[in-house]
Structure 1
Amino acid sequence: MLVVEQLEVAYGAITALRSISFEVRPGSVVALIGANGAGKSTTLNAISGLVLPRAGRVLFEGRPITGWRPDRVAALGLVQVPEGRQVLAPLTVEENLLLGAYTRRDRAITDDLEAIYRRFPRLAERRWQRAGSLSGGEQQMLAIGRALMARPRLIMLDEPSLGLAPLIVSEIFRIIAELKQQGTTILLVEQNARKALQVADDAYVLENGTIVRHGPAEELRRDPAILEAYLGRHAAPPPA
């Protein structure tokens, strides 16, 4: 569904991505893991059109979209949930959700809105509340719900657990697992490697803008080097 080939991004004299390549199959969850500053968010921003690559190309369902404007990329069904959630604080929950459907012209928007409220009951309880007054976890649910209102073919989640309490992190990853079970294709950027590798099918490890490892997520979860570098020095491999 998504193919990234030899992608390079630079900010002035600083190279953020160095010829990275990966792919995302339909219905799968692919995780990009790595330390802060490894280039994970830059990768998503280059795919969605928020930054212009210096080299390489991005193909979505076989169509080259490198350098497209973000609104054109979103209209194809390739939707990003940004780091830090970035809800529109002065607007209500419902107004934020409806903004997610701004590229749509069909008549099912109201039905989809009610489906979001069934998926996220806390948003239903707060539908007329200003988004800025929600907790961090509720804002993350709102950001995911807003993306789902676009009826994405592929959803890109940028650090969905960032700054959240452990119980809320577990809830967010339960939602991701549920979306996966329903066949949603997901590209997940996440510093919490343990959680990411539990839900992903495949994973790529980024270091200093370069992919240094990739493979099935279950395999990486058992790799001693990954255990020490990203899951904690004393982490034990999952049971067989």
Structure 2
Amino acid sequence: MASLNISNLPEEILCKIIEMVGADSFYYLGGILRAGRRGYALVHEPSVLRKCNVQPMVTFATCQICTGGQFREFFIKCVTAGNTNAIYYEGLYAALMVGPEKCIRILQPNVPNHDLSTLAVGIFNVCIGNDKEASKLFQQFAANHYDLRSDAIVGLGADLEWRLISFGAPYMNRYGASFKFPDDEVIKSPSCLYGHDYTVDFEGSYLKYSYTLSIRQCYMFSLVYLKYFVNVICFLSYTVSIRIP
């Protein structure tokens, strides 16, 4: 059988192959990038960038997607192309480098379809005092993803915390003054939210397990209200210890 000549494959087929390669990991696109001008151009097709798996880049080479990093230019191209995960990571990075308002603008294309982005936008609205907007976002999150009383919210909050730490979140009481949790007909502020040292023990027969958070930068504050367990970033440098049997 004659060997397959990749260079003679139709553009559409070759692009689809590269899409699948990139969807596995961005690392696998390196050889194609170095294969010549055609390979370089195809890797930078919007459809390839949009589906490219940037998670290994963010997880194992975090500093390289930041300003001045080796992968920064390619990463931003993925963001511009509408890559959902790239948008999410860039939003969190912008929250620390520029501020929550910038983060919210970057994450908007992902709302309400992407769970972590929707939760993050709600949380950052809490940080800057937009409690009504935060309430809308939390309701959108619940309608499109998970009930705020579910165990899933804990895992998402932990992911959000870990990503911010990986981007170098500093110790700083940055948004303590503006922090405002929703208090309306749908979302109620926990009575434990204000006016204490943020070390909280909750016990209740309807709450099932233990969860302890050690916080760097005063930014992850876990709120438990009735059956709600909402992990909220508030940029307060305290350790929150929550024990729930």
The TM-score range, normalised by the shorter chain, is under 0.3
More helix by share: 2
More strand, by proportion: 1
Normalised TM-score (structure 1): 0.27
- The normalised TM-score by structure 2 is 0.26
Q: Which has the higher contact order (CA 8 A, sep 6+)?
A: 1
The higher radius of gyration belongs to 2
